[in-house]
Amino acid sequence: MAVQTVNGPPARVPRFSGAGSVTPVAVTGGAGGPDGQTLRKFAVYSSQLASVVLSSHKQLKNNEMRDHMLGEMFALDGRVAIVTGALGRLGREYVRTLARAGASVGAIDVSGDASAFTALIEAGHQVHTELADLAIKAETDRAIAAIARALGAPAILVNNAGMGSSPAAAGSENGRFEDYPEVAWDTMIDSHLKTTFFASQAFIREYRAANQRDGSIINVSSTYGVVSPDQSIYQYKRAGGATYFKPVGYSVAKSGVLNFTRWLAEYGAPLGIRANTLVPGGVREAGHAPEFIAEYEARTPLGRMAADSDYNGAVLFLASRASSYMTGATLVVDGGWTAR
């Protein structure tokens, strides 16, 4: 057999110069083809190239397995979630988290600007907003039924609604316990417990009507529902001449959420509904006094107050299949506050 040779500059064959990269190797030789040294270099190159291809293939497979595993555990595609107190700082975070995980989200609040979710909607996520006073049963039923009509039957409920203070008792609810106003007490019980009660009723009604079998209710409590408020961190106010105590109503209402969750867990289990409580710690706000922040952070093992986004992972965990064997439980995310 005749061998045809081609005259011209030597061919260039890639050679590795480091992990994951190659540089050319000149293939030279006479009329009979490359010499032995070049062939040995080419053989080494071929082996290295095969190793990189295999490694890349393994990495791709590992990435696919990771994405599949995380998707199986945390993806909410095709599910409808409802968030109450949705237009507040943390409520907006929860709506975004659930929507970005694939859920269609119904957002309910007593007031606020629904344009907070415009960017989500423009990005292709489904968010439907209803304004309603959830302390009124008829309004709660109307809002949740409207969400079910717009998005489909709900499978996830985040009971996040609740006031931090009573507008009707402004200036008087932080005084001595024996002077704590009845209206402030009623506001706390209604805004935290009654809203959770009414929203859970309406949610389960819609859930059952659609024959759903995989549901999750997340009730939001507080560290002050687990332990008593540390009144010493407010001493700086009293030192300045003010009569100030973290009031009783908030703590009692948030404590009630814990056992309401346990009751729901027992009731909901035969329906395929899990119910768990999220216990968040204090979230830093622009209006916090420096003295308060210093006291709070000194009392917290992680040495800081929470950021708005610090509870998103916990909400997604409780909403998703990642927590499928968890019900009646209390998930505390507080920087270690209750550990002391």
Query: Which residue among 250, 267, 296, 311 is the active-site one?
Result: 250
SS3 219: strand
Spatial separation of the C-alpha atoms in residues 194 and 178, rounded to whole Å: 24
By the 10 Å C-beta count (0-12 exposed, 13-18 middle, 19+ buried), 276 is classed as buried
Q: Would you state the structure tokens that stand for residue 9, as one six-digit string?
A: 């500059």
SS3 11: strand
- Each as own residue / partner, the long-range contacts of residues 62-70 (CB below 8 Å, 24 or more positions apart, any chain) are none
Helix, strand, coil share of the chain (percent; to 5): 50, 15, 30
Question: Is-catalytic flag, 267?
Answer: no
Among residues 93, 104, 89, the alpha carbon closest in space to that of 155 is found at 104
Catalytic residues: 250
